[in-house]
Structure 1
Amino acid sequence: MRKLFAAIVLATLAIGFVGASASADENPSPAEHRRLFREGAKLWPVYCNTCHNARPGSEKAPYEWDLIIMHMRTLGNLPAGDVRSLVEYLKSR
Protein backbone atom coordinates (compact mmCIF):
# COMPACT_ATOMS: atom_id res chain seq x y z
CA MET A 1 0.00 0.00 0.00
CA ARG A 2 2.85 2.38 0.80
CA LYS A 3 4.47 1.67 -2.56
CA LEU A 4 1.23 2.49 -4.35
CA PHE A 5 0.84 5.72 -2.40
CA ALA A 6 4.46 6.68 -3.13
CA ALA A 7 3.96 5.96 -6.84
CA ILE A 8 0.84 8.14 -6.93
CA VAL A 9 2.61 11.00 -5.15
CA LEU A 10 5.60 10.79 -7.49
CA ALA A 11 3.36 10.70 -10.57
CA THR A 12 1.41 13.72 -9.31
CA LEU A 13 4.61 15.65 -8.72
CA ALA A 14 5.94 14.70 -12.15
CA ILE A 15 2.72 15.84 -13.82
CA GLY A 16 2.91 19.11 -11.91
CA PHE A 17 6.47 19.75 -13.06
CA VAL A 18 5.64 18.88 -16.66
CA GLY A 19 2.59 21.12 -16.57
CA ALA A 20 4.61 23.99 -15.11
CA SER A 21 7.28 23.74 -17.79
CA ALA A 22 4.70 23.50 -20.57
CA SER A 23 2.78 26.58 -19.44
CA ALA A 24 5.24 28.91 -21.18
CA ASP A 25 4.24 27.46 -24.57
CA GLU A 26 0.56 27.21 -23.67
CA ASN A 27 -0.49 30.34 -25.56
CA PRO A 28 1.06 30.27 -29.01
CA SER A 29 0.58 33.18 -31.38
CA PRO A 30 -2.49 32.96 -33.64
CA ALA A 31 -0.34 32.06 -36.65
CA GLU A 32 1.50 29.37 -34.66
CA HIS A 33 -1.82 28.04 -33.35
CA ARG A 34 -3.18 27.70 -36.90
CA ARG A 35 -0.01 25.94 -38.02
CA LEU A 36 -0.12 23.52 -35.08
CA PHE A 37 -3.84 22.89 -35.61
CA ARG A 38 -3.35 22.04 -39.30
CA GLU A 39 -0.40 19.79 -38.49
CA GLY A 40 -2.39 18.09 -35.69
CA ALA A 41 -5.29 17.49 -38.09
CA LYS A 42 -2.89 15.72 -40.45
CA LEU A 43 -1.34 13.68 -37.62
CA TRP A 44 -4.65 12.57 -36.05
CA PRO A 45 -5.28 9.80 -38.62
CA VAL A 46 -1.65 8.70 -38.45
CA TYR A 47 -1.39 8.25 -34.68
CA CYS A 48 -4.86 8.28 -33.14
CA ASN A 49 -7.57 7.25 -35.60
CA THR A 50 -6.40 3.65 -35.83
CA CYS A 51 -7.67 3.05 -32.26
CA HIS A 52 -9.91 6.01 -31.37
CA ASN A 53 -13.03 7.61 -32.83
CA ALA A 54 -12.91 11.37 -33.23
CA ARG A 55 -14.32 13.26 -30.26
CA PRO A 56 -15.17 16.94 -29.95
CA GLY A 57 -12.49 18.93 -28.15
CA SER A 58 -15.12 20.25 -25.76
CA GLU A 59 -15.67 16.72 -24.42
CA LYS A 60 -12.65 17.14 -22.16
CA ALA A 61 -11.19 20.06 -20.26
CA PRO A 62 -7.85 21.37 -21.60
CA TYR A 63 -5.93 19.86 -18.67
CA GLU A 64 -7.54 16.48 -19.37
CA TRP A 65 -6.29 16.56 -22.98
CA ASP A 66 -2.81 17.32 -21.61
CA LEU A 67 -2.96 14.26 -19.35
CA ILE A 68 -4.41 12.02 -22.05
CA ILE A 69 -1.79 13.03 -24.61
CA MET A 70 1.01 12.52 -22.06
CA HIS A 71 -0.25 8.99 -21.45
CA MET A 72 -0.66 8.27 -25.16
CA ARG A 73 2.78 9.74 -25.93
CA THR A 74 4.26 7.10 -23.66
CA LEU A 75 2.18 4.26 -25.09
CA GLY A 76 2.59 5.29 -28.72
CA ASN A 77 6.17 6.58 -28.49
CA LEU A 78 5.12 9.85 -30.12
CA PRO A 79 7.68 12.57 -30.93
CA ALA A 80 7.41 15.77 -28.86
CA GLY A 81 6.76 18.03 -31.85
CA ASP A 82 3.92 15.85 -33.04
CA VAL A 83 2.45 15.75 -29.54
CA ARG A 84 2.30 19.54 -29.36
CA SER A 85 0.45 19.66 -32.67
CA LEU A 86 -1.97 16.93 -31.60
CA VAL A 87 -2.73 18.74 -28.32
CA GLU A 88 -3.54 21.98 -30.14
CA TYR A 89 -5.76 20.04 -32.53
CA LEU A 90 -7.58 18.16 -29.77
CA LYS A 91 -8.20 21.25 -27.66
CA SER A 92 -9.45 23.32 -30.60
CA ARG A 93 -11.92 20.98 -32.31
Structure 2
Amino acid sequence: MSKDTKRNRLWFIGIVLIMFGTITISGLVGCASGLTQKQKPGAMLWGENCGRCHNVRNPKGLNDAQWDVAVMHMRTRANLTADEAQKILEFLQSAN
Protein backbone atom coordinates (compact mmCIF):
# COMPACT_ATOMS: atom_id res chain seq x y z
CA MET A 1 0.00 0.00 0.00
CA SER A 2 1.40 3.38 -0.96
CA LYS A 3 2.11 6.16 1.51
CA ASP A 4 -0.69 8.33 0.07
CA THR A 5 -3.22 5.50 0.33
CA LYS A 6 -2.34 4.94 3.99
CA ARG A 7 -2.60 8.66 4.71
CA ASN A 8 -5.98 8.88 2.96
CA ARG A 9 -7.24 5.87 4.87
CA LEU A 10 -6.14 7.41 8.19
CA TRP A 11 -7.87 10.69 7.31
CA PHE A 12 -11.03 8.82 6.40
CA ILE A 13 -11.00 6.82 9.65
CA GLY A 14 -10.37 10.01 11.63
CA ILE A 15 -13.26 11.82 9.97
CA VAL A 16 -15.59 8.86 10.55
CA LEU A 17 -14.62 8.72 14.23
CA ILE A 18 -15.19 12.45 14.66
CA MET A 19 -18.59 12.20 12.95
CA PHE A 20 -19.57 9.21 15.09
CA GLY A 21 -18.53 11.01 18.27
CA THR A 22 -20.42 14.15 17.28
CA ILE A 23 -23.58 12.19 16.49
CA THR A 24 -23.32 10.24 19.74
CA ILE A 25 -22.86 13.37 21.85
CA SER A 26 -25.71 15.13 20.02
CA GLY A 27 -27.97 12.15 20.68
CA LEU A 28 -27.12 12.10 24.36
CA VAL A 29 -27.78 15.81 24.75
CA GLY A 30 -31.02 15.51 22.78
CA CYS A 31 -32.21 12.66 25.00
CA ALA A 32 -31.61 14.60 28.18
CA SER A 33 -34.81 15.29 29.99
CA GLY A 34 -35.89 18.88 30.52
CA LEU A 35 -37.13 17.96 33.99
CA THR A 36 -35.49 19.33 37.09
CA GLN A 37 -34.45 16.95 39.88
CA LYS A 38 -37.56 17.96 41.86
CA GLN A 39 -39.85 17.08 38.92
CA LYS A 40 -38.37 13.67 38.17
CA PRO A 41 -40.37 10.62 39.22
CA GLY A 42 -38.89 7.93 41.45
CA ALA A 43 -38.42 5.46 38.60
CA MET A 44 -36.33 7.95 36.64
CA LEU A 45 -34.30 8.87 39.71
CA TRP A 46 -33.71 5.18 40.43
CA GLY A 47 -32.42 4.65 36.90
CA GLU A 48 -30.13 7.67 37.01
CA ASN A 49 -28.73 7.03 40.48
CA CYS A 50 -29.19 3.45 41.69
CA GLY A 51 -29.16 1.82 38.26
CA ARG A 52 -25.60 2.98 37.62
CA CYS A 53 -24.22 0.45 40.09
CA HIS A 54 -27.06 -1.94 40.88
CA ASN A 55 -28.70 -4.43 38.57
CA VAL A 56 -32.46 -4.40 38.37
CA ARG A 57 -33.86 -6.61 41.09
CA ASN A 58 -37.35 -7.68 41.98
CA PRO A 59 -38.83 -5.02 44.30
CA LYS A 60 -40.67 -7.82 46.09
CA GLY A 61 -37.30 -9.14 47.23
CA LEU A 62 -37.45 -6.71 50.15
CA ASN A 63 -40.41 -5.56 52.22
CA ASP A 64 -41.26 -1.89 52.79
CA ALA A 65 -39.20 -1.61 55.98
CA GLN A 66 -36.17 -3.24 54.33
CA TRP A 67 -36.41 -0.88 51.34
CA ASP A 68 -36.54 2.03 53.79
CA VAL A 69 -33.29 0.90 55.41
CA ALA A 70 -31.61 0.23 52.04
CA VAL A 71 -32.56 3.61 50.58
CA MET A 72 -31.51 5.51 53.71
CA HIS A 73 -28.16 3.68 53.69
CA MET A 74 -27.55 4.42 50.03
CA ARG A 75 -28.77 8.02 50.28
CA THR A 76 -25.47 9.12 51.80
CA ARG A 77 -23.37 7.07 49.39
CA ALA A 78 -25.18 8.40 46.31
CA ASN A 79 -25.45 11.97 47.63
CA LEU A 80 -29.22 11.97 47.21
CA THR A 81 -31.38 14.73 48.58
CA ALA A 82 -34.13 13.82 51.02
CA ASP A 83 -36.71 14.45 48.28
CA GLU A 84 -34.92 12.20 45.78
CA ALA A 85 -34.53 9.41 48.34
CA GLN A 86 -38.22 9.66 49.25
CA LYS A 87 -39.30 9.43 45.60
CA ILE A 88 -37.06 6.41 45.01
CA LEU A 89 -38.36 4.77 48.18
CA GLU A 90 -41.98 5.37 47.15
CA PHE A 91 -41.23 3.92 43.71
CA LEU A 92 -39.68 0.76 45.17
CA GLN A 93 -42.40 0.31 47.78
CA SER A 94 -45.18 0.83 45.22
CA ALA A 95 -43.81 -2.09 43.21
CA ASN A 96 -43.51 -4.24 46.33
AA aligned opposite 1:84: Q
- Take 1:44 and 1:73, find their aligned partners in 2: how far apart are those partners? 11
| Cα offsets for 1:26-68 (capped at 9, x unmatched) | xxxxxxxxxxxx7001111110111001112211011000000
- Match in the other structure for 2:49: 47
- Take 2:72 and 2:43, find their aligned partners in 1: how far apart are those partners? 18
Say whether 1:80 aligns with 2:77.
Answer: no
- Take 1:71 and 1:64, find their aligned partners in 2: how far apart are those partners? 11
Higher helix share: 1
Q: Which runs of 5+ in 2 are unaligned?
A: 1-39
Q: Which runs of 5+ in 1 are unaligned?
A: 1-37
- Take 1:43 and 1:75, find their aligned partners in 2: how far apart are those partners? 15
- Take 1:47 and 1:59, find their aligned partners in 2: how far apart are those partners? 20
3-state SS of the aligned residue for 2:80?
coil
- Take 1:54 and 1:92, find their aligned partners in 2: how far apart are those partners? 15
Larger RCO (CA under 8 A, 6+ residues apart): 1
- Take 1:42 and 1:89, find their aligned partners in 2: how far apart are those partners? 10
AA aligned opposite 1:43: L
What is the count of residue pairs matched by the alignment? 56
RMSD of the alignment, in Å? 1.3
Whichever of the two has the greater Rg, that structure is: 2
TM-score by length of 1: 0.56
